[in-house]
Chains A and B, each alone.
Chain A
Amino acid sequence: MIQTVDFFPPIVDDPYTFGQIAAANAISDIYAMGGVPKLAMNLICFPSCLDLKIMEEILQGGYSKVIEAGAIIAGGHTIEDNEPKYGLCVTGYAHPKEILANSTAREGDILVLTKSLGTGILSSAAMAEILPEKDYKVMVGMMSHLNKYAQEAMMPCRPSACTDITGFGLLGHAFEMAHGSGLTIELFSDHVPALPKALELAREGVIPGGAYNNMGYLEKDVEIAKRVPLELSDVMYDPQTSGGLLIAVPEERVEELCSRLTDKGEEAHIIGYTKAFDGKSIRVL
């Protein structure tokens, strides 16, 4: 049995969409661990001055994602708070032999990422109301997209390790995988998928504080080659909400993994590989 909980304040204005994103984000941990979500409970903080219809819409958004995940919602808990917050406590199952961890990558594994990066930067622009509608749609579509399909594609390929990309950004979560597995991860910056709008906003200095926090705490463990553009490394540190899966898979299975992902309409980016620890956990080439 796997349990996880996650909740946060609104990152988009529309309550239904916020509910969907918060739910997709909360359920994601179960997928990253190779499990199947079965049961969810709502966690909601809500101000007494707001229309209850808004709470209803948030809950409906969350419900839609729980149903899509094939789980059921069994109640929850609401408290009064100045700022709304929403998320889920999720219970899932996995066969003990199939549970995936982020710390079990093996030397020579290939790393595959299933969602492009930059939604933290885009959300920060959306909050400041400077994000064009078409980019907003891309962002919302990515953040509310369940990792269910990517996980279903990955399981038959027997990955050695998996994690989902969230608040610590690609480099933070890749560091946890490298460090936990006692290996070095080399990332090919040219193959790291960054949303073009996120790169543009990074050049304009629209980067959330969380990205700089990630840079700060990873300073000693990450080495980025000088040739890598600053905006690209900024995007690699960008905190993601409901980001994709980072999958470590033996080299002989990587082709199969990518074609299974593509068949399901998922992104499949080969972004790097693992090697024996060489003194730095992460090297970006």
Chain B
Amino acid sequence: MNTLDARGYSCPEPVIMTKKAVEKGLPLTVLVDSMTPVNNITRFAVNAGYKVSHKPAGDDFEITISK
């Protein structure tokens, strides 16, 4: 599975990075450090027709995007 580490970036960078990473193949795991990118990446993935879920990973969040 591809992994993207978008921690430390402020919005909208994580969603822009995710968009590019998705083009390289799914499933994809994205690590982010706050709920704003979780919400933004979820909106992007849902509207692009992908399945998306997230769970806490320590102080961060792990988002999984698949077809």
Contact = CB atoms under 8 A, between A and B. Distances in A.
B60 interface: no
Given A203-B47, A205-B41, A212-B36, A130 B11 contact: no
A206 B39 contact: no
A204 B47 contact: yes
A130 B36 contact: no
Interface string A98-133: 000000000000000000000000001101101000
Contact of A206 (B10, B35, B40): B40
B29 interface: no
Interface SS, A side: helix
- Interface residues on chain A, size class: 10 to 19
A275 B47 CA distance: 36
Given A204-B44, A205-B40, A205-B41, A128 B35 contact: no
A212 B12 CA distance: 13
B16 interface: yes
Interface string B6-37: 00001111011001000000000000001110
Given A209-B36, A212-B36, A128 B43 contact: no
A258 interface: no
A206 B15 contact: yes
12 contacts: A127-B12, A128-B13, A128-B16, A130-B12, A130-B16, A205-B12, A205-B39, A205-B41, A205-B44, A206-B15, A207-B11, A231-B43
